[in-house]
Structures are given as structure tokens and as C-alpha cells.
A = this chain, B = another copy of it.
């Protein structure tokens, strides 16, 4: 009976997501209440676009990369910043633009995510796109310090080929939309690997109740970190249950060092910049729930923003902004932790086995093996 009810609940989600199962569809239990799409786009106004670059050039050279764009206010993001804050768990990575986010309290424009060697290209093209598509803003200028983040896709992508081109940046921005999102091997996440499984982009959301009503916290991750042994899902040590095959071992002596994860947290709760900085910090707790430990070479960098307060707040006069009292923040914090956790697992579950640069193949996690591991630890829903 329970199974039947759950099936009704899950079916639409599965259908929407191009028939690919998401983590919940496999019976993985998560805490908290997701939004309708269980995606960052549950936060009204947020749009996401992917440009996926999969090209083969012969002799093992291959592009397995791309660009993901998150627009806090959709097209209005060009002219209308959002309050924002950032946090760093381990800083072996890049997110440009954070010095200004921290000083101003504003994220101006989109958050762009790509592979390591393409940060410069994406930075430049994002500015050019801005220059070509809008006038100077109310401050008399136009943002020119975009937020561009990266993780290192070099296992599957020929990083030194610099295969992200201007048109990919434009595609990511211009195809950004609300609604259900693709996960796994898409956009900036195309070539990414986590826990030695194929990984990439994942998303999730939580609806949280406060005295000021319900708010949504949505998360999108580009996950590319961790070694197999430490992977835990729903608390179960599944990494050890699905060990890395000797033949397929892709680890190099310093492989642990190259992991990274970018976490983007959106909310419609009316938070001020210093509150959003606290929200961003919670991403680290979500990573830890999947076993992550932030190795020396990991760039674990987070940004949170609020879509509330959609007036011009930089040069306006006699401004008034809505604010959620600190005493009511805890549900937002918990939502950020839990949505980060689920977004990572969604990235793992959605990714597909991929062969790329130098003919290297990274296997996706086997869904049945994962379910078996969870069942062993009594953590598979609908399997009693």
C-alpha cells in the first residue's frame, strides 16, 4: 500500500525528467520537503541553461565539457542584482567575482560554471554578452566582473585544448529557462567525476516553513570530488559496497587532490547579504552528509542569493528591504544542507558512463548496486 502511494508520487517526477530516474526514484530516503520540481528552479524567477560540448578530434583528443548558467532573475538578471553571499570550504579552485559580491552584497548577473581551463573564456564572453544585450544600468555602468566558477574536468576532457568557445557561453545564457532541469553529464558538469563515479550537475530543493510563511531553497551543484571509500548515501557506506574495480581504477597518486564542488543556493526568503553568507556556509554540511572531506586540492566554493527584494537597490533612494529575522533562519539553513546533499546524489544518479580524453572511461554508479547497498543498511525506501 505504501509502495503504491509512493509510486503515484514519484511517477510524474520520473516522467518530467526525461524518464531518467532521480535519486528519490531509486528509493533513496532524504529529509525535508522538496519543491514541485525538486530543483533550483523551484525558486521563482531562477532560470538555468546548459551548453554541453562533446566533440572528438581523433588521437584521443576529446572535449567533454560545457557551460552552465544560473540566472537569479532570468532575463532581469542583466539589470537587477540580487543580494548574495559566498563561502569557501576549501579554496583550491576559482570563483571569480566573489570579492565584489562580498563587498557589495550583490550578485550582478548570472553565475557561470565551467571546466578549469575555460574560466577566462567564459569570463570574457559573459561580459561581451552583457555589453551586447543591455544598456548601462542605473548606476551608470554595467557589471563587468562576472561570477565564473569551475571544477577540473581533465580526466575526460582535454583541458589544454580550451574547447569551450564563445558560442557555448551564449548558448548557456540564452537557453536558460525555468522548469525541470537536465542533470548529470550536461553543461559545466559534462566531464565531471565524483567518488570515482561519473558525476556532473545535480539539483534539488526544499520548502521550509517559517513564521513569515513558506520559502523555497533551491540548490544546483557541479560535483567533481571525493574518492570511493568515503561515499555515503542516506548515511549508508555505499562507497565500500561498490568498490573501485582493479581493472578500471582511474586513480592517480594525487587523484584525491583534484576534486572540487561548486554549490549555488537560491532562495526566495528575504535574506540580507550577511545572512546569505551564512546560508552559503551550510553547503559544506551537505557535502559532509555524502561523505565529503574537502581534500587539499578541492575547490569547494559556494554562493547563495535571494530573489526577494526585486527593486533597484544600488542607486535608488529611500530604500526599504524585506528581511527574515535571524531567529527564523534555522529552517532555511537546514533546507540548504539537505538540498545540497540531495543535489549531489542526484548528480551521481543522473550521470551516465562516459568515455573521453585519451580513451578513458568513467563508469556511472550502477543503480541496482546502489539500491542493494542501501538495502543492506536498511536505507532503501519502499523495500521493506
Across-interface contacts of A274 in B (CB, < 8 A): 102-103, 105, 272-274
The verdict on A14 contacting chain B, using a C-beta distance below 8 Å, is: no
Across-interface contacts of A301 in B (CB, < 8 A): 99
Interface size of A by Cβ–Cβ distance < 8 Å?
102
Across-interface contacts of A152 in B (CB, < 8 A): 144
Describe A's contact surface by its main secondary structure.
mixed
- A160–B140 contact, CB under 8 A? no
Compute how far the CA of A273 lies from the CA of B56 in the bound complex, rounded to whole angstroms. 43
Per the 8 Å Cβ criterion, residues 222-260 of A in contact with B are 230, 232, 234-237, 252-254, 256-258
- B235–A377 contact, CB under 8 A? yes
The verdict on A98 contacting chain B, using a C-beta distance below 8 Å, is: yes
The verdict on A175 contacting chain B, using a C-beta distance below 8 Å, is: no
The verdict on A6 contacting chain B, using a C-beta distance below 8 Å, is: no
The verdict on A21 contacting chain B, using a C-beta distance below 8 Å, is: no
The verdict on A218 contacting chain B, using a C-beta distance below 8 Å, is: no
Q: Contacting A272 at CB < 8 Å: which of B105, B140, B284?
A: B105
One of A34-42, A290-298, A344-352, A364-372 at the interface: A290-298
The verdict on A212 contacting chain B, using a C-beta distance below 8 Å, is: yes
Per the 8 Å Cβ criterion, residues 282-341 of A in contact with B are 282, 284-289, 292-297, 299, 301, 313-330, 333-334, 337
- A285–B278 contact, CB under 8 A? no
Cβ of A156 to closest chain B Cβ, rounded Å: 16
Cβ of A221 to closest chain B Cβ, rounded Å: 16
Across-interface contacts of A88 in B (CB, < 8 A): 99, 102-103
Cβ of A215 to closest chain B Cβ, rounded Å: 13
Kindly report which residue of chain B lies nearest to residue A213, judged by CB atoms: B318
- A322–B320 contact, CB under 8 A? yes
